[in-house]
Amino acid sequence: MDPDIEKLFDHAGVAAEGGLEALLGRRVTHQAFGAGKIVDIGTGGQGQGLIVRVQFGEVGKEFSPDEFRRQFLRKQYVMNQPLISNVEGFVSRVKDAFERKWLTNFGHLHEEFSDALRDELDAPYVLPVTNATFGLLTLLNAMEIRGEVITVPFTFPATYHALFHVAGVTPVFVDVSERNFGMDAEAAAEAITENTAAILPVHVYGFPCDVDRLASLARERNLPLIFDAAPCFGVKYKGTTITNLGDASVLSFHATKVFTTAEGGAIVCRDRELYERCKLFINFGIQGEQTVEMVGLNGKMDELRCALGLANLEGVDLALKRRRRVVEYYLEFFSRSDFPAISYPQDLYQSQDHELNYSYFPVVVEASKEMDRDILYKRLREKGVFARTYYYPTVIDSPIYEDYHPQYAELPVAEKLSKNVLCLPVNPNFDETDCEYIVEALADSMGSA
């Protein structure tokens, strides 16, 4: 943003309409709406007072002067931003790709990135894919999963969207545990029928779900166990990289994750035959130039994203350390604060069973007449703190899924969490001053209840 806009506000004041006319035509950028232009400043209807009108493409928005200051002039504390520590390394690899004139189809950078991921994840087989959703879709097809797949509703929609897009698969939704937000193993056991084809738990927020109990259940019932480990890059469970558990796992490398290729993801597995089938599926099912061995799709990761991945691997340890500092600041704040309406997963952060990557910091807000999750969410946004209501809405609340004929067990915990959880921003670019502002905004928002 042009820095003299702030000066114009300071000089004109929020009530001096004439002074603010100098803002007309100025370009601005909004976190949610993108690039826009100030097109009008005037009086709103019904006693609204002064209004600044901004046009974002075909969409027009109105802001009071205070809202405009908050949304455009003050720092916005967003949920996450990628830490890209080696831009030069990325650029040099992109130049190399252009010099080779090979931009996709398992090129040089793709193979280098795959090898680097195998080393990083201590895994025998890692296949980069275009995104984690496609990774799940690939596994379900490569493993020929047909029938009922037990999963959870308390997750990002990508998990169950993949299931809805596989012919012959019916998702069966079971409840989650309040202890770790992941699949309730007892609920999963009760949901198994003769039609069950697989179990698909989610490591929600990067916290390991009941891995041991679910693995035991899968072995007892002879069922494939696929983990949606989308936010789990860098997470370990009992000394083992968490993506090495079960039959296979999927990681996300989306821009909001701790490690990013902008868009992208990876399939991690221990079985070579499964790996080869997945690699075939993401290349249309074509072997060589003329042989079609399965009805696959295009899910390959191109050379440019592999270049970004290789560059970002060099800085991922730094990103994890910075995230940890933010979470530790929050933990220290809550340890000395008294907010009876807010609980947070202290035990998960202190467990000796796992190493976390500090992807998220969820808090559970007990609803009352004066305060609930949505009120707190709104008040924080007014202060420039962009917490997120992960995960709401869920498949439970969205009627569009009815045509896909999902099945549901009793889901009281998932329903409660979806309406009560708020994730505070965990951003590797935050410093101590940023963290201090966020917790003060939280305290002020709770204190005004």
- pLDDT, one tens digit per residue, over 246-272 is 999 999 999 999 999 999 999 999 999
- Looking at 290, 313, 336, the residue that finishes a domain is 313
pLDDT at 448 over 70: no
Question: 11 with 115, same domain?
Answer: no
The pLDDT value given to residue 42 = 78
User: What confidence category does residue 65 fall into, taking pLDDT thresholds of 50, 70 and 90?
Assistant: confident
Per-residue pLDDT, averaged over 20-33, amounts to 76
More confident residue, 48 or 275: 275
Q: Are residues 263 and 325 in the same domain?
A: no
Q: Is residue 372 part of a domain?
A: yes
The pLDDT assigned to 73 comes to 67
CA–CA dist 228, 219 (Å, integer): 18
Query: Is residue 146 scored above 80 in pLDDT?
Result: yes
**pLDDT of 10 above 70:** no
Give the per-residue pLDDT at 3.
Answer: 43
> Are both 257 and 304 inside the same structural domain?
yes
Per-residue pLDDT, averaged over 352-363, amounts to 97
Which two structure tokens, joined as six digits, stand for 88? 């030069």
CATH of residue 27's domain is: 2.40.10
Residue 83's pLDDT is what? 80
Report the candidate in 134, 118, 105 with the shortest Cα–Cα distance to residue 313: 118
184 & 58 share domain: no
Does some domain include residue 250?
yes
- One domain for residues 141 and 254: yes
Q: Are residues 29 and 177 in the same domain?
A: no
**Residue 221 forms part of a structural domain:** yes
CATH code of the domain covering residue 166: 3.40.640.10
**361 shares its domain with 278:** no
- 101/194 same-domain check: yes
Sign of CA dihedral 275, 279, 285, 290: negative
- Quick one: average pLDDT of 415-439? 95
Residue 383 placed within a domain: yes
Give residue 335's pLDDT.
94
Q: Is residue 137 domain-resident?
A: yes
Over residues 32-43, mean pLDDT: 83
- For residues 97-113, give the mean pLDDT: 97
- Domain edge (last residue) among 43, 73, 103: 73
Query: Is 393 part of any domain?
Result: no
Confidence of residue 5 (pLDDT cuts 50, 70, 90): low
Q: Is the pLDDT of residue 12 over 50?
A: no
Ranking 33-42, 100-109, 248-257 by mean pLDDT, the lowest is: 33-42
Q: Are residues 274 and 361 in the same domain?
A: no
Question: With bands split at pLDDT 50, 70 and 90, how would you rate the model's confidence at 16?
Answer: very low
Count of domains in the chain? 3
* Percent of the chain residues topping a pLDDT of 90: 78
Q: Are residues 308 and 201 in the same domain?
A: yes
**Above 60 in pLDDT, residue 241?**
yes
Domain containing 332 equals 316-387+425-447
- What does the pLDDT look like over 75-90, one tens digit per residue? 789 999 888 878 999 9
The per-residue pLDDT for range 202-213, each reduced to its tens digit, is 999 999 999 999
What is the model's pLDDT at position 371?
95
- AA letter at 424: L
The residue from 262, 287, 313 where one domain ends is 313
CATH number at residue 347: 3.90.1150.10
Query: Whole-angstrom Cα distance, residue 412 to residue 174?
Result: 10
Tens digits of residue pLDDT in 301-328: 999 999 999 999 999 999 999 999 999 9
In a domain, 407, yes or no: no
Residues 361 and 302 in one domain: no
Asked, for residue 79, whether it belongs to a domain, the answer is no
Is there a single domain that holds both residue 284 and residue 354? no
Average pLDDT taken over every residue of the chain: 91
- Residue 13 pLDDT more than 80? no
